[in-house]
Every structure is written in C-alpha cells, then in structure tokens.
Amino acid sequence: MPSSLQRLGSDELAHVFGFLPPEDIMRARLNKRMVEAAKKTIVPMTEFRVDDVREYNDLVAMSTALPNLQQIYFRRLNEDKYSDGDDPDEEEATDTANFITHDIEIISRFRKLRSLELVLTPLNGRYPFLFSFPLLHKLNITMCHHLKWDLEILEGLPLLKELSCCHLDSVTGNINSLRVLKDTLEKVTIRDCFEVQGNFMDLADFPRLKELDLFGTPVTGDIRDIGKQDFRTLELLTLPDGVYGGTGYEMQRISDAPDLAMAVYSIKKQRPTLLEDWHAVLSDDSPDWYDGIGSYDGYESTEPLCIRFVKAGSRVGYRWITGCCIHPCEVIWLDPEPQRESIDYETYIEAFQEIQLQVNIYRGFHQPPTEEEHNLLWASEGYVD
C-alpha cells in the first residue's frame, strides 16, 4: 500500500474510494480502516447489475460493506427466483415452488439508492420496501408481470425524477396519484400497462415534466384541452388511442379525419417534437371500413385506412395510407405552398416531388376509395381477393 494512503483517515479514504467502481472498492478493503472507509463511501453512479446468483451474492456482501451503493439493476436469476411477496399470484407461486429462493429485501439496506431498475426480475406479489427510498431519482420496472403494486405507493419516493413502467400486467391505479410527485417528475413512461387509468391532463401543470409516454394504457382525454399554459416544459408526448388525438386513435368515419388531423397539427405546430410518429386508423367498427385483398408483395394490407403526417420543407400535410405505410393517397396539405422567393422553396419542391412519386395506385384519391373502387383498382392490377 502506498505510504500516502497509509496516512489517510477513514473519511479521506472514503473520498478516494468515491472515484472507484464498487468492485474495486470491495477489493481495496485490506484492513479495518479501509473497511470502515468503504462503509462511508458514496459509491459513484456506476450501474451494478444482478442477473445471476454470483452477482446476487456480491450484492449481499455489498449490503453491509458498501451500504451507500447508488445504482442497482436487477434482471433474471437463471432458474432461481426471489422470495414471494405479499398476496402472490397463486398459480405462479405453485409453478415456482421448487425454485431456489433468494431474499430481495436486502435491497432495503441501500438507503442512498438513486437508481433502481427491475427488468424481467422474478418477483411475485407485493413488496412495499421496493418503493421506500427517500433519495431515489430513477425507477424502471419492465416486464415484471407478477409484481403487484399501485401507483399510490410512489409517495414513498419523494425525490423521484424518472418513472418508467413498461409491459406490466399487475400495476394498477390512476395517474392522478403521480400528483404527489408533481414538483420532481421529469420523465414519465407508463407503456403497455393495461390497468393504469386516468386523464392525461391531470399532469398538465407539472412544472418539470419533459417527457410523457402513456402509449398502450386505458388513459383517456382530449388533446384539444391542451392550453398554452399546459405542459409548458414538455419535449416529448406520446398518448394512447383512448385519447382523442392519441397515437393509434380510432376514427369512426372517414369524414372525421380533417378535424382530427387539424387538432393534432395545431399542437405540433406550436411544439413540433410532441406527438412524433403519430398516426390514426379507421375503426374496424366503422361503416366505412373494409378488408383489403390480403397479402400483397409480402405486405399485410392494401386498404389505405390509416392517416399519417408528411412534410415537404416547412409545409405539412397528411395522407391516407395502408397500415404498413405503403400505397398512399394524395396529400391533403394543411399549410400553403411556400413563396417561390423563400429560402425554403427549393427544399420544398424537392421533397414535394419525392412525395408525389410515392403515390401509385391511389393517384387522384385524397381519401380512401370505397370498397368497390378499391377492388376494381386492384383487379385492374391483376390482384383478386
């Protein structure tokens, strides 16, 4: 050991250790003074992954040796599992009854935790201690299908900035429960969580919110309710199809498209990064809906019953197109053509011509053909259902 380190006290050593990854700190515990220093060390924000039993055992050791670990990422445990929580799914508990079990509650020893990620982690039931970290900034729970919890329990994470919940079968609650975190939340992703409800406008006054993604949830609302003072810091917005103007919104009639497109465009015109990759579809229940001829050149459909935005220079419009984004109709422009003397005109013309070249079988159609017209068009091309 260098003589300079020998002269340092445990507090000074803890500061030095703070520049090392957790594995190196564990190896550096050569004497009692260094052991004490390690316990005091605020471990850097280096991700520690737990995806096998060896790494789990390392975490157990760190729970006493490095209690100030700040970032943990849990994944699978090969064929093992973590101990069941309260109110477990009985079928899952029976199916995994013979698995080797490990104690997940050791995580509660890391009181300085700033980032916790649980991805495909073998959990079953409720674990209140997972939501009781006073300094936690980031929580990511993905594809933990038997982990049961309600959004209300997030009140135990008073400094939470980033929340990501994806593909979860057992998370419940209303997004208005997030209001207890109104002054801290910056990013919220609740995606493909089918038991999460509420109105997206309940988050409209969050002063720090930059990203909101609620795709694949039963959340409702209407983008026409967004006022100039709402979502003032938002940079990314993805809404589910249950929201009027959300991604994948289902129109009841073809004639609904102009008002819907204009409503979405009015939002995008003010803040272009919102509602990116937006589209809407004609509902299967619509009297205007019909089935196409089936597979065409390996694609799934020929009926142009989806609308998407297109852009040529600064000019924006929308068009009807198939669900697999081929065979578009003519563009319905929402902006006037740029003036010839404008600096954008050449860029516009080049993009406009490229867009026009994409129109083939539906040339001359600004909205979907009727089913009869559709079938005649494709029959003339030699394709019959």
Q: Is the predicted pLDDT of residue 260 greater than 60, yes or no? A: yes
What mean pLDDT is reported for the chain?
Answer: 91
CB 208 within 8 A of CB 187: no
Q: Are residues 273 and 125 in the same domain?
A: yes
Q: Are residues 188 and 89 in the same domain?
A: yes
Q: What is the dihedral of CA 141, 145, 151, 154, to 10 degrees?
A: -40
| Per-residue pLDDT tens digits for 246-259 | 999 999 999 999 99
| Residues across the chain | 385
| CA-based end-to-end distance of the chain | 80
Is there a single domain that holds both residue 176 and residue 252? yes
Position 33 scores a pLDDT of 73
Residue 149 domain boundaries: 3-282
Q: End of a domain among 250, 282, 314?
A: 282
Q: Which of 304, 226, 305 is nearest to 265 (CA)?
A: 226
Contact 165/141 with Cβ under 8 angstroms? yes
**DSSP annotation of 252:** S
Sheet holding 332-333, edge to edge: 249-251, 279-282, 306-312, 315-321, 332-333
Last residue within a domain, chosen from 235, 266, 282? 282
| Residue 1 pLDDT class (50, 70, 90 cuts) | very low
pLDDT tens figures, 69-112? 899 999 988 889 999 999 999 999 999 999 999 999 999 999 99
pLDDT digits (tens, 9 = 90+) for 340-366: 999 989 999 999 999 999 999 999 999
Q: At 41, is the pLDDT very low, low, confident or very high (cuts 50, 70, 90)?
A: confident
Return the pLDDT at 294. Answer: 64
| Residue 103 neighbours by CB under 8 Å, 6+ apart | 82, 83
How confident is the model over 146-159, as a mean pLDDT?
98
Please give the Cα distance from 283 to 296 (Å, whole number). Answer: 22
Q: Identify the CATH number of the domain in which residue 77 sits.
A: 3.80.10
Residue 203 burial (10 A CB sphere; 0-12, 13-18, 19+): buried
Mean pLDDT throughout 204-224?
Answer: 97
Count the domains in the chain.
2
CB 78 within 8 A of CB 101: no
Instruction: Label residue 212 exposed, middle or buried (CB < 10 Å: 0-12, 13-18, 19+).
Output: buried
